[in-house]
Structure 1
Amino acid sequence: MKLDIIAAELAAHPSIRGKLDIAASTSGLSLSAGTTGQPGDDAAAIARPEGGWDLFAGEGFMPQFVQDDPWFAGWCGVMVNLSDIAAMGGRATALLDTIWAPDAAAAGALLSGLRDAAAAYEVPVVGGHTNLRSPELNLAVSVTGRANRLISSFAAECGDVLIAAIDHRGRYRPRFDNWFAALDAPHARLRGDYELLPELAESGLVDAGKDISQGGIVGTALMLAECSRCGFDIDLSAIPVPPGVDLVRWLRSFPSFGFLLSVRPERATEVCTVFSARDISVAAIGHATDRPRVELSLGGARTTFWDYAATPYINLPKEIAYA
């Protein structure tokens, strides 16, 4: 497939275009990147008087996803929130769930997924809200956490190396582009993998990045670029892809463990070593530029995936830096 066709297909895909909804919500709430918590990051960060940061994040789920695979949706309610906290350089402390279901029996698999993931990651569910008189099944989960030093979407700099760290030891769940690498993993390994992010932040090796979300590698790179007011050149041939997986699908996939980190060049090798030591696939896939767009290259060809100056994506550009 030609590169310009790949870029156009990705830019039109619902999982990537869905992030355009963020701008509508923040506009309706009169929020910007400069308001409390700095919207646009993976979690809101509130400075603690004694030092460090309180972190807050939450996730709502597509009703069809919850209804098609309720146990997995429950697990994801925990997993994606913990990923948001780790992406900020933090450690999760507690979870709250909100469920809707026609009755208690219908909620069973959903609650089991929540319970199983909370036990696996050793983060407690401490409360929430339950409605067992809803016409259909649905879920939202929120999380609290703490960080000593932050990894931020607003800290990427021109010249950085863009690193992708993704656990390939998994498979797709049916019907959706969700790459699940947690089902057969030892629970201690899952917890240890998330610990890498706060350790990298606290060591000063990483201060910029995001977890790879529903927008996949390219959509996440675009959000990171727009927040930091930089661009990224991504070499598609440098991206490791699991055996048998189509490259275009992989570029839009939502992995259970996946992060894009924008790293100063002199630190890139050490950061990659940290992930590879735990058998997590990691590679330098591009670099940050001073152009307001994400560009893709493959086999000598080059094209623009998205120009956020012409078409804002989440419309939360950098206004302030964390102190």
Structure 2
Amino acid sequence: MNLHSIVDKFENSRNIQEKRKLIPILEKIRANGYNSSQIYASHGEDSAAIQLTPTSKDLILLTTDALLPTFIEKSPYGAGFSAIYVGIDDIFACGGTPLASTITIAYGDDNIGKKIFSGVLDATKVFKTPLIRGHTTTDSPSLAISSTIIGNTTVEHYLSAGGSNSGDFLAVVWDPDGKTSATNKNYWNTITMKSSEEFFHKRSFLSPAIDKKYITACKDISNGGILGTLFQMMQYAKLGAKIDLNILESHIISDNLQFSTEQFIFLFLTSGFLISGKNETKNELIDLVYNANMKFYEIGEVQDKNEIRLKYGENEEILLEEYF
């Protein structure tokens, strides 16, 4: 493994470039958009949070995602299923419970449309999120799917993606019981073969870990992989990080994984979360993670310096610096 190749892959990744392009867009929204005192959290979080009243302790959570047309074309059923799934872990990462879903779908081929809806409806059953609203275009010249997942939590139980503190450990919590997607070698599928009960059990560590303050921040690991997710988490926290790939590689070797370290850090890890937490309660957190049949891979620590630094062997390389 070569640190230069990892940095190059990171910088040239479409997913990473898209995430970096969001920064000025979000700054413009914050500066020029209308705001409300009932918005408890919004940009930068996995799920936005809205207070029912300005003083309410109850929060409604919202998260929205869209799928690439190429994915929809290759796997319309998978795209329909994923349209619901992608927002579910956003809700869990913030300490919430998914309640319902909405979806917008556009297609021109009825056969493709049937497959999309089949995936959508199967997903609502697995994730126990009824489809309550949407919009469908059946004569569209192009394919499109976007979805919104609605959830709830309380102010005390809401976990911000920007809550990391300098000195916190960084770890990946993930489900090794899966397989590589047939349509995307960088997609680790742990969802479609699981029952609803298994799916929710895998996430059962989150609620008690948040209640006991074992976790200071959390983001689900999506199409930017571990490094893309780390960039967003640290940019929002206005902190830096040092990632030791030697430690990560030792986990991969000891668990006899099919991936190299370089491959693993760029995977879309369904049932995967990047977390930061307090070192003094790390062992208690690990017990919760293992009881949920998940793996805990410590990978580094949060630092004050405005950079993300990678270490492998005795060599170090700056992945990103001065990003806020």
TM score, norm. by length of structure 1? 0.90
Matched, 1:116 2:149: no
Corresponding residue of 1:13: 13
CA distance in 1, matches of 2:153, 2:203: 13
Corresponding residue of 1:220: 229
Listed as ranges, the matches of 1:90-239 within 5 Å are 90-148=96-154, 149-176=157-184, 177-239=186-248
Matched, 1:248 2:248: no
Q: 1:33 to 1:289 in 2, by over 3 A?
A: farther
Deviations 1:191-235, CA, capped at 9 Å, x for gaps: 222343233222322231211121110111111111111111111
Corresponding residue of 1:298: 312
Q: 1:81 to 1:32 in 2, by over 3 A?
A: farther
Q: 1:153 to 1:234 in 2, by over 3 A?
A: same
CA distance in 2, matches of 1:254, 1:66: 17
Corresponding residue of 2:44: 40
Q: 1:119 to 1:214 in 2, by over 3 A?
A: same
Q: Which moved more, 1:173-182 or 1:122-131?
A: 173-182
1:116, distance to aligned residue in structure 2 (A): 1.0
Q: 1:244 to 1:263 in 2, by over 3 A?
A: same
Partner SS for 1:108? helix
Partner SS for 1:207? strand
Partner SS for 1:19? helix
CA distance in 2, matches of 1:281, 1:96: 32
TM score, norm. by length of structure 2? 0.89
Contact 1:32/1:38 (CA < 8 Å) preserved in 2? no
Query: Which has the bigger relative contact order, CA under 8 A and spacing at least 6?
Result: 1
Number of equivalences? 310
In the alignment, residue 308 of structure 2 is paired with which amino acid? V
1:25, distance to aligned residue in structure 2 (A): 3.2
Corresponding residue of 2:272: 258
Contact 1:94/1:124 (CA < 8 Å) preserved in 2? yes
Contact 1:67/1:138 (CA < 8 Å) preserved in 2? no
Deviations 1:65-97, CA, capped at 9 Å, x for gaps: 111111111111111100000010111111001
1:27, distance to aligned residue in structure 2 (A): 4.0
Q: CA RMSD in A?
A: 2.0
Partner SS for 1:184? coil
1:52, distance to aligned residue in structure 2 (A): 3.1
Corresponding residue of 1:318: none
In the alignment, residue 172 of structure 2 is paired with which amino acid? A
Contact 1:73/1:110 (CA < 8 Å) preserved in 2? yes
Structure 1: 5+ residue stretches without partners: 316-323
CA distance in 2, matches of 1:300, 1:32: 46
Contact 2:216/2:278 (CA < 8 Å) preserved in 1? no
CA distance in 2, matches of 1:108, 1:24: 38
In the alignment, residue 47 of structure 1 is paired with which amino acid? Q
1:180, distance to aligned residue in structure 2 (A): 0.4
Q: Which moved more, 1:238-247 or 1:108-117?
A: 238-247
In the alignment, residue 29 of structure 2 is paired with which amino acid? L
